[in-house]
Amino acid sequence: MSEERETYIQPLHQSSINRCLRCRRAYMFRDRWCIIPKQQPFAVAASQGSLTHRLIEKGPDGIEMVRAQVQEYIQHLLSRIDAGEDLLGYIAQEANELDNQFNKALAMATVLWEKYPRPKHHKILAKEKTIDISFRLGKPEDMPFPIVNLRGRLDEIVLDEKSSLIYIRDYKTTSRDVTYTLTGYHYSLQCRLYRLLAGAFLQDLPDHKNRSPDGFILEILQVPTISMGSKDRDYTEYEYTFTRGSRKGETEMRRDYEGEPQFSNYLQRCRGWYAERGDEAVQSFAVRFIEPVLPQELSLALGLAVIYQNLPADVPSAFPRDTTASYCKFMNRICPYYDLCCTDEAAWPAIIESKYEVKPPIQLEATDCDPKIPKEKESEDDKR
Ligand code: SF4
């Protein structure tokens, strides 16, 4: 079966390297065979995060554009339901949730913009930029070090015109505690790869050639646990006096609700939700880079990923499973390839035919192989 299967080689990106480091078999299915489940449970957290991210990226002027895109997408989902594609109800669930999520995302973005307006001295050098780079994973040039082809998308690269420092701005949302979410971020794969990509991008800007970004600006919000609903209708308050029972004679304030829920009321409730949590739930801060651009840890991770990126992918046993099984239930979800991992390979063609579809990678023009990483001052450790 596997001999006949078409396999693909595509540039590495943060999520595929991460997958490869966690489980080579998942990497093979997702990034070399390019198979994905035909039906996937609706991931509320992922959808909420990407909607919020999109709104923050586009800024206040982009709200109506994102709203229109969401409505268009809901119509697309409804047409798929009409066409009988929603066998498990996942599409209907997604369509139902999207309005709710847009309102929550807009409230989150508004709170962030109010609390941290963009500084006027931050000049945007790049925005929503997809960057491809290609470089040799070592020196000297005559040694057979592998070539790394890397692709990634950066939210923003900004120049602080007061300090002349260059930052990568990244937005994050989390349903957990912000401090918990950021644990280890500064040495994470994402942080390091963004730095490489941004450094390569700067080489194309005459004013910043031979520079590397100085750090990160992280903007992070916790997702409010409240949703827009009946409490967000307009209301009038009145005093109510109990006329019987144990509270007879006592007075309390009551509300008469009317009409449909209003976003302005929901936003006000979200502002209160964030205010109750103090500074913890919305944060914006800068982190300076303190380690080399290409530390040995990152070289090792990239070297391993390059091996599996190019290995013939028709021998599944060459792509070992995660025997710790931790990635099999990563983020509280069972891996979409679990059925295959639990089944004899002889049964795979039938399972793949019924449960998965092939999504080949989009082929972009080949990148050149110039190492665009700016040269760093060599440390004593590097010279050893
Ligand atoms: S089920 Fe587990 S071992 Fe199999 S591909 Fe997924 S993460 Fe890897």
**pLDDT tens digits for range 255-309:** 899 899 999 999 999 999 999 988 889 988 898 999 999 999 999 999 999 999 9
Contact by Cβ (8 Å): 196, 12: no
Q: Is 319 in the pocket of ligand 1 (CB under 6 A)?
A: no
- Does 212 lie in the same domain as 181? yes
Q: Which of 11-15, 140-144, 159-163 has the lowest mean pLDDT?
A: 140-144
Q: Is residue 204 assigned to a domain?
A: yes
Is residue 27 within 8 Å of 19, Cβ to Cβ?
Answer: yes
**Are 152 and 293 in the same domain?**
yes
| Ligand 1 binding pocket includes 330 (Cβ within 6 Å) | no
Say what the alpha-carbon torsion angle 305, 332, 155, 361 is, to the nearest 10 degrees. Answer: 50
Best residue among 18, 33, 332, 337 to mutate for probing ligand 1's pocket (most ligand atoms within 8 Å of CB) is 337
Q: Tell me: the pLDDT tens digits for 81-101? A: 888 877 777 888 888 888 888
Do 212 and 159 share a domain, yes or no? yes
Tell me, using a 6 A CB cutoff, whether residue 335 lines ligand 1: yes
Residue 205 has pLDDT above 70, yes or no: yes
pLDDT, residue 384, reads 29
Q: 377: pLDDT confidence band, cut at 50, 70 and 90?
A: very low
The more confidently predicted of residues 341 and 80 is 341
Give me the pLDDT at residue 128, please.
Answer: 85
Does residue 112 share a domain with residue 126? no
Would residue 195 count as lying in a domain? yes
Residue 43 binned pLDDT confidence (cut-offs 50, 70, 90): low
Residue 233 lies in a domain: no
User: Residue 161 is part of which domain span?
Assistant: 122-225+277-299
Please give the pLDDT value at position 30. 96
Contact call for residues 308 and 9 (beta carbons, < 8 A)? no
327 CB near ligand 1 (under 6 Å): yes
Q: Whose CA is nearest to atom 5 of ligand 1?
A: 26
Q: How confident is the model at residue 25 (pLDDT cuts 50, 70, 90)?
A: very high
In a domain, 350, yes or no: yes
Average pLDDT of 189-205?
A: 94
Do 292 and 316 fall into the same domain?
A: no
Output 48 or 330, whichever has higher pLDDT.
330
* Under 8 Å between Cβ of 187 and 351: no
- Helix/strand/coil (H/E/C) assignment for every residue in the chain: CCCCCCCCCCCECHHHHHHHHHCHHHHHHHHHCCEEECCCCCCHHHHHHHHHHHHHHHCHHHHHHHHHHHHHHHHHHHHHHHCCCCCCCHHHHHHHHHHHHHHHHHHHHHHHHHHCCCCCCEEEEEEEEEEEEEEECCCCCCCCCCEEEEEEEEEEEEEECCCCEEEEEEEEEECCCHHHHCCCHHHCHHHHHHHHHHHHHHCCCHHHCCCCCCEEEEEEEECCCCCCCHHHCEEEEEEEECCCCCCCCCEEEEEEEECCCCHHHHHHHHHHHHHHCCCCCEEEEEEECCCCCCCHHHHHHHHHHHHHHHCCCCCHHHCCCCCCCCHHHHHHCCCCCHHHHCCCHHHHHHHHHHHEEECCCCCCCCCCCCCCCCCCCCCHHHHC
Q: Measured between alpha carbons, how far is 134 from 148 in angstroms, rounded to an integer?
A: 5
**210 CA to centre of own chain:** 29
pLDDT, one tens digit per residue, over 96-131 is 888 888 999 999 999 999 999 989 999 999 998 999
Q: Which atom of ligand 1 is nearest to the CA of 336?
A: 6
Q: Tell me if 375 is assigned to some domain.
A: no
Q: Whose CA is nearest to atom 1 of ligand 1?
A: 338
- Same domain? For 77 and 130 the reply is no
Q: pLDDT: is 212 or 144 the higher one?
A: 212
Q: Residues near 364 by Cβ (< 8 Å), separated by ≥ 6?
A: 11, 132
Confidence class for position 44, pLDDT limits 50, 70, 90: low
C-alpha to C-alpha distance for 21 and 193, rounded to whole angstroms: 14
CB of 53 within 8 A of CB of 171? yes
Mean predicted lDDT score pLDDT of the chain: 87
pLDDT of residue 358 exceeding 50: yes
pLDDT value for 148: 94
Across 97-101, 249-253, 341-345, least confident range: 97-101
Ligand 1: residue of 341, 342, 348 to mutate (most ligand atoms within 8 A of CB) is 341
Indicate whether 189 and 283 sit together in one domain. Answer: yes
Per-residue confidence at 176, pLDDT binned at 50, 70, 90?
A: confident
In a domain, 155, yes or no: yes
Report the CATH number at residue 183.
3.40.1350
Query: How far does residue 295's CA lie from ligand 1's centre (Å)?
Result: 29
Give long-range contacts, CB 8 A cutoff, 24+ apart: 116-120: 116/219, 116/282, 116/284, 119/160
Whole-angstrom distance, CA of residue 39 vs CA of residue 85: 9
Burial of 201 (0-12, 13-18, 19+ CB in 10 A): buried
What's the pLDDT tens digit per position in 177-194?
Answer: 888 888 888 889 999 999
**310 C-alpha vs ligand 1 centroid, how far in Å?**
20
Residue 336, in any domain of the structure:
yes
Q: Is the CB of 337 under 6 A from ligand 1?
A: yes
Residue 361: CB atoms within 10 Å? 13
Q: Has residue 192 been placed in a domain?
A: yes
Euclidean distance between the first and the last CA atom of the chain, given in angstroms as a whole number = 48
Cα within 13 Å of Cα(289), Cβ side: 24
Are 262 and 231 in contact by the 8 Å Cβ rule? The answer is no
Q: Give me 78's structure tokens.
A: 């409804």
137 shares its domain with 110:
no
- Residue 150 near residue 134, CB atoms below 8 Å: yes
pLDDT value of residue 42: 58
**153 and 178 in a common domain:** yes
CA distance linking residue 207 with residue 298, whole number of Å: 28
- Give the whole-number percent of the chain exceeding pLDDT 90: 59
Predicted confidence at residue 48, as pLDDT, reads: 78
Of 73-77, 168-172, 355-359, the range with the lowest mean pLDDT is: 73-77
Per-residue pLDDT for 378 more than 80? no
Q: Average pLDDT for residues 233-245, to the nearest whole number?
A: 92
Which position has the higher pLDDT, 137 or 367? 137
Give pLDDT, residue 376: 36
- State whether 150 and 194 are in the same domain: yes
| Average pLDDT of span 223-248 | 92
Pocket of ligand 1 contains residue 340 by CB under 6 Å: no
Same domain, yes or no: 149 and 70: no
Q: Do 79 and 129 reside in the same domain of the chain? A: no
The reply to whether ligand 1 has any atom less than 6 angstroms from the CB of 19 is: no
Q: Based on the structure, what is the number of domains in the chain?
A: 2
